[in-house]
């Protein structure tokens, strides 16, 4: 199955455009590193700085537009960087705090389907409070009107981050259900690649906070969900082809730092 010829062409065009835009707006850090500079040279230091800069916003400049490109072909609707809403019920907030407290104390194991139903039961109870939840990186609606809201994260999130990730996922549920209590909804963390490959993804106490089956998609699981079986492998091939194609441009760009 995998990606169609048209999808591959679209993905590669997104890659070319994104990388060229990064070159246009890139400005080397003004910090002085005299030992590194003399050992490695200006061009390699400039490349090092560029890679660091690219890593910082790889998600928004490359992964998000590519994810959108894949999803819009296979799903009813797809969008990125959207607001989920601004109202949440007081009872839902209380329920979310209970869930978080129980998970933190390890009194229960994460069970996203159960957690969603607990929030659904109180999603319009009590006062409605105005909130400003984190934006959804990728929002997908399938042909049965089921929603999938993704929060894209770096391959190695900070140890304390998963607790806040979990709260964000639960808040998205509460805000969306406040507007439509009957909504079929999934909220997930997406990690674009597995830095531990070929070993399974492992990051501290992630299993104690996230429901690994319902709240996490890593690498192949994420990209194949968006683009169909084989999409992940096709993507890696796209990156390799574009890298080879643009290598002369990249070399020429950094050659100016030789002098």
pLDDT at 214: 95
Contact status, residue 1 vs residue 229, Cβ threshold 8 Å: yes
pLDDT at 161: 77
Q: How many CA atoms lie within 13 A of 61 on its CB side?
A: 17
Identify the CA nearest to 188 among candidates 224, 155, 217, 228: 217
pLDDT at 29: 63
pLDDT at 38: 79
Q: Does 95 or 159 have the greater pLDDT score?
A: 95
Contact status, residue 59 vs residue 152, Cβ threshold 8 Å: yes
236-251 residue pLDDT tens: 999 999 999 999 988 8
Q: In this model, does residue 3 exceed pLDDT 70?
A: yes
Q: How many CA atoms lie within 13 A of 79 on its CB side?
A: 9
137-155 residue pLDDT tens: 999 999 999 999 999 987 6
Q: Where are the domains of the chain?
A: 5-255
158-209 residue pLDDT tens: 666 788 999 999 999 999 999 999 999 999 999 999 988 888 877 554 668 8
53-84 residue pLDDT tens: 777 778 888 999 999 999 998 999 999 999 99
Q: Does 46 or 94 have the greater pLDDT score?
A: 94
The rounded distance, in Å, linking the Cα atoms of 177 and 205 is 29
The rounded distance, in Å, linking the Cα atoms of 48 and 53 is 9
Question: 215 by DSSP, 3-state: which?
Answer: helix
Q: Which residues contact 125 (CB under 8 A, 6 or more apart)?
A: 89, 90, 91, 92
Phi, psi of 152 (to 5 degrees): -80, 130
Tell me: cis bond preceding 198? Omega within 30 of 0 counts: yes
The rounded distance, in Å, linking the Cα atoms of 209 and 236 is 30
pLDDT at 103: 94
The pLDDT of 221-240, averaged and rounded, is 96
The rounded distance, in Å, linking the Cα atoms of 81 and 142 is 18
| Mean confidence (pLDDT) of the chain | 89
Q: In this model, does residue 49 exceed pLDDT 60?
A: yes
H or E element that contains 217: strand 216-218
97-132 residue pLDDT tens: 999 999 999 999 999 999 999 999 999 999 999 999
Q: Which residues contact 201 (CB under 8 A, 6 or more apart)?
A: 191, 194, 218, 219
Global pTM? Answer: 0.89
Identify the CA nearest to 226 among candidates 60, 62, 63, 73: 73
Determine how many CB atoms are found less than 10 A away from the CB of residue 143. 9
pLDDT at 251: 85
């Amino acid at each position: 199955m995998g990606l169609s010829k048209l999808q591959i062409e679209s993905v590669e065009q997104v890659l070319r455009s994104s990388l060229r835009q990064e070159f246009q707006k890139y400005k080397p850090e003004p910090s002085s590193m005299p030992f590194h500079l003399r050992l490695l040279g200006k061009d390699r230091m400039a490349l090092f700085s560029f890679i660091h800069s690219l890593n910082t916003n790889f998600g928004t400049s490359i992964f998000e537009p590519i994810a959108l490109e894949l999803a819009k072909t296979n799903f009813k609707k797809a969008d990125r960087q959207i607001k989920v809403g601004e109202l949440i019920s007081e009872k839902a907030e209380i329920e979310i705090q209970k869930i978080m407290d129980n998970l933190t104390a390890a009194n229960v194991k994460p069970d996203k389907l159960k957690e969603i139903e607990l929030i659904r039961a109180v999603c319009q109870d009590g006062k409605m409070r105005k909130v400003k939840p984190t934006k959804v990186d990728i929002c997908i609606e399938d042909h049965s009107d089921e929603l999938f809201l993704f929060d894209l994260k770096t391959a190695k999130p900070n140890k304390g981050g998963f607790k806040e990730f979990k709260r964000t996922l639960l808040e998205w549920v509460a805000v969306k259900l406040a507007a439509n209590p009957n909504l079929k909804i999934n909220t997930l963390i997406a990690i674009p690649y597995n830095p531990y490959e070929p070993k399974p993804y492992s990051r501290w106490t992630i299993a104690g906070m996230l429901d690994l089956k319902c709240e996490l998609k890593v690498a192949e699981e994420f990209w194949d969900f968006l683009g169909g079986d084989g999409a992940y492998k096709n993507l890696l091939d796209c990156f390799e082809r574009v890298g080879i194609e643009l290598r002369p441009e990249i070399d020429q760009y950094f050659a100016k730092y030789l002098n």
